[in-house]
Chain A
Amino acid sequence: MNSFIWIVVPYVALTCFAVGLSWRYRYDKFGWTSRSSQMYENRLLAWGGPLFHFGILGVLVGHVVGLVIPADWTTRAGLSEENYHRMAVTTGVVFGLMTVVGLVLLVYRRRLTPSVFRATTGMDKAMYVMLGGVIAVGMYNSFVVQLLGPGHDYREDVAVWFRSVFWFQPDAGAMQGAPLSFQLHALMAMGLFALWPFTRLVHVFSAPVGYLVRPYIVYRSRDRHGSARPPRRGWEKVGS
């Protein structure tokens, strides 16, 4: 059971994530959008949108630092375990609160604005449940376990397991020591990753950072592809 949850499930989820994304990118570029509902309603979105997004970006950075960077690296860099913990909990709580407040505003808006609710698909609802669940359990970990409770050094177990998955030497045993709520958070996150390619969350991978460096005016040729269809086998142009 243990190896099923911490070895089979992550690889299934990650495969679903990677294959799903490339499938969607190839076959459904037209559907690849944030599908904004700003035109319907902007008063709540003006607060909820930025709060949630900047919050979740902070949370993302926190997760990368916590899970990817091994504990002894930060110690060697001169950051004591105690200081690391204090820093992680503070920033985690701040960005987590932003995320939660933003998400509550957004869900409230989505449910109670008739136009927005009408434009909500079944997949959107599934995504909200998954995303909301992961965030809720994550916040429980931050607040109840780390801030108010005894605290738990996830870098000794969850992070070890997380990295081992990507080295293809999954260490299911490492998760044994983690509290149930941490295990649940990880498990739900895997569910979210599996669902990811089929939801509007794909817009995360379109973050337009290239905009900062590209020329303002874009030109494209009508004949960029030569023809509306690729040449048939045996009919390729000379030199191609």
Chain B
Amino acid sequence: MRVMAQMGMVMNLDKCIGCHTCSVTCKQAWTNRTGVEYVWFNNVETRPGLGYPRMHEDQEKWGGGWVRTAKGKLRLRSGGRLKRLSRIFSNPKLPGLKDYYEPWTYEYDTLLNAPAGDDVPVARPKSLITGLPMQIRWSANWDDDLGGAPEYAPQDPVLKKLGDLVKLEFEKTFMFHLPRICEHCLNPACVASCPSGAMYKRVEDGIVLVDQDGCRGWRMCVSGCPYKKVYFNHRTGKAEKCTFCYPRVEAGVPTVCAETCVGRLRYIGLFLYDADAVLAAASVENEHDLLEAQRAVILDPNDATVIAAARAESIPEDWIEAAQKSPVYALTNRYRIALPLHPEYRTMPMVWYIPPLSPVVDAVSSTGADGEDKDTLFAAIDQLRIPVEYLAEIFSAGDPKPVEYSLRVLAAMRSYMRRINLGEERDESIATAVGMTGRTIEDLYRLLAIAKYEDRYVIPAAHVEAGLALDEIAGCSLDYAGGPGMGGTGPFGELATVPASVETFQLTKQRAEANRYADLPEGTGAVDLLTWSGGTPPRGMFPPRRDADGQDSP
């Protein structure tokens, strides 16, 4: 057993209203640059729908993820090493810009500069790629909230798997939102695809990153990732991806997407897992066994042998403690209601989802029945095959049982807590119907419905020696590149800038917590969301408040 720590996330889809706040704040923090205009490290898809990039789940087309060979070995779906290297000059499986969308702006200047005339000036859309006028035909969220669903939804690769069943019943539609970030997989296909070895998984917290100095722009990672969550910066020629906001997480602060989530549906915490068991778990023969195999790789942080093994791997005590309090471990392995996204890709994704009960509740309520009654809900879960099987295709490789179990637990929680809210007696039979006790249901309720900030995010800070923080106080310099001995300003210019480091961030965080934000020049309109701690509105976001007597107050 080789214990490693992994940062993980769980999203409770029942609470997602599809407001896209996570996407917008993420973009503002990470991808508001030329070259990544089209990139959304975090995006929210409406399902059924095509997703972003369009139909990214169609692995017949994109060849992402792993497959199990007849001999029981894992191989990248796009082929062996030599085969993929031979395609380096033109990657046949790379999504084009059109599969994401062509980013655009509008000719705002014409609104201001058009000469007086009979015609009202208009701001035509202009491509940010070609600089030419363009027709907007697609974007990252063209089919948001089932917009254009009759045309687009039938192409949904997940719906296609369900076949004719859906065509008959599509009028009785259902819908939910699916926020997606990088999965920071235990067995990442993108890392395995990178010819340069520039992509890596961090030993300390399992976050998957791209070394921007090592990336040579071969684009194999974009194809390798079955979730299409590695993006190509067409200006710099380098791959970029969700960083799990590592500068924030290292400081013990949740990611920007989680921090700004309006529905408070994201949970961040640690997993302890057995790194030696990952490959075997990802190679199990039956796809339906992948979910359980993945759960089995995750270790019980309260188990004495696990704790001893973690200490032997010099995982710090506060990290072990955080793993014991981890909300994500509770949801995936203790309550067993969180499910991974497409386990059949065999990448062991570490962003998990609680499937949404709302399509079921909506269907029940629309018939006039009691949407909070246990028996009605249980019956509906059994009868509403399409939502359940659709969810199963997404979260459990097509096996409806785990999805049904999650939904039944949510339904039981709903009706159990309804009785309490109405002042009725606790009905223990509701809890036992899903193999729980009233007590655990109330615990789950606290975690899912009350969802206190400190319950949702249990993030231990990264360990840095105190000396390094002192280093920071001494001032900021640019003598960094590649490591020790590379420092200094050379005769031909400055070396690379200081990386976003926990050393920098700890201080920024302290400033933020004292409500003194990292000083950005005022009036520039720049809002630094990356270092925002969530205590007060970020500086620069809103104009100064006016007092009653008209004076500006900060």
Q: Which residues of A contact B (CB under 8 A)?
A: 23, 26-27, 29-42, 45-50, 52-54, 114-115, 118-119, 203, 206, 208, 210-212, 214, 216-231
Chain B residues within 8 Å of A42, by CB: 90, 94, 96
CB–CB A221/B202 < 8 A: yes
Give the interface SS of chain A, mostly helix, strand, loop or mixed. loop
Given A203-B216, A218-B194, A229-B477, A39 contacting B490 (CB threshold 8 A): no
Q: Which residue of the partner chain, among A34, A45, A228, contacts B237 with CB atoms under 8 Å?
A: A34
Contact between A30 and B238 (Cβ–Cβ < 8 Å)?
Answer: yes
**Does B130 contact A229, Cβ atoms closer than 8 Å?**
no
Complex CA gap A218/B482 in Å reads: 18
| Given known contacts A46-B90, A230-B487, A118 and B131 CB-to-CB distance under 8 angstroms | yes
Q: Which of A23, A50, A115, A210 contacts B197 (CB 8 A)?
A: A210
User: B197 to chain A: which residues have CB within 8 Å?
Assistant: 208, 210-211, 214, 218
Residues of A within 8 A of B490 (CB): 26-27
Which B461-487 residues sit within 8 Å CB-CB of chain A?
462, 468, 471, 477, 479-487
With A and B bound together, what is the CA distance between A211 and B200 in angstroms? 14
Among B85, B131, B215, B234, the one with the most A-chain Cβ atoms within 10 Å of its Cβ is B234
- B237 and A219 form a contact (CB under 8 A): no
The interface-forming segment of B289-297, B323-331, B366-374, B494-502 is B494-502
Q: How many inter-chain residue pairs (CB < 8 Å) link A and B?
A: 169
Chain B residues positioned under 8 Å from A45 (CB to CB):
90
- Taking the closest CB of chain A, its distance from the CB of B505, in whole angstroms, is 11
The answer to whether A27 and B216 touch across the interface, beta carbons within 8 angstroms, is: no
- Per the bound structure, the CA–CA distance linking A65 and B192 in Å amounts to 35
Contacts of A31 in B (CB 8 A): 236
User: Which B residue sits closest to A36, measured CB to CB?
Assistant: B217
Asked if A217 and B188 make an inter-chain contact with CB atoms under 8 angstroms apart, the answer reads yes
Q: Answer yes or no: B504 CB below 8 A from chain A CBs.
A: yes
Q: Contacts A27-B495, A217-B188: A203 and B201 contacting too (C-beta < 8 A)?
A: no
Closest to B81 in A: A212
Identify the closest chain A residue to B195 (Cβ): A208
Q: Which chain A positions have C-beta within 8 A of B235?
A: 119
Cβ of B89 under 8 Å from chain A: yes
| Residues of B180-227 contacting chain A, CB below 8 A | 187-188, 191-192, 194-197, 199-205, 211-219
Contacts of B89 in A (CB 8 A): 49-50, 52-54
Interface centre among B82, B91, B499 (most CB of A within 10 A): B91
CB distance from B502 to the nearest CB of A (A): 8
- Kindly state whether residue B384 has any CB partner on chain A within 8 Å: no
**Interface contact B213-A29, CB-CB below 8 Å:** yes
- Pairwise interchain contact A212-B483, C-beta atoms closer than 8 A: no
Contact B196 A26 (CB under 8 A): no
**When chains A and B are docked, how far (Å) is the Cα of A23 from the Cα of B491?**
10
**Residue B232 at the A interface, CB < 8 A?**
yes
Residues of A within 8 A of B468 (CB): 227-228
B90 touches A40 (CB 8 A): no
Q: State in angstroms the CA–CA spacing of A140 and B179 once bound together.
A: 58
In the bound assembly, the distance between CA atoms of A54 and B90 in angstroms comes to 11
Contact B90 A35 (CB under 8 A): no
Instruction: Given contact pairs A36-B218, A228-B501, enumerate 20 new A-B contacts (beta carbons under 8 Å).
Output: A33-B237, A36-B219, A36-B232, A39-B232, A40-B234, A41-B96, A50-B90, A115-B127, A115-B130, A208-B88, A216-B191, A217-B192, A218-B194, A219-B201, A220-B201, A222-B203, A222-B250, A224-B483, A227-B471, A228-B498
Chain A residues with Cβ under 8 A from B232's Cβ?
36, 39
Q: CA–CA, A37 to B194, complex, Å?
A: 18
Which partner residue on chain B sits nearest A240 by CB separation?
B484
CA distance A8 to B445 in the complex (A): 81
Does the CB pair A30–B191 fall under 8 Å? Answer: no
Q: Nearest residue in B to A113 (C-beta to C-beta)? A: B130
**What's the least CB distance linking B516 to chain A, in Å?**
23
Give Cα distance in the complex from A203 to B219, angstroms.
13
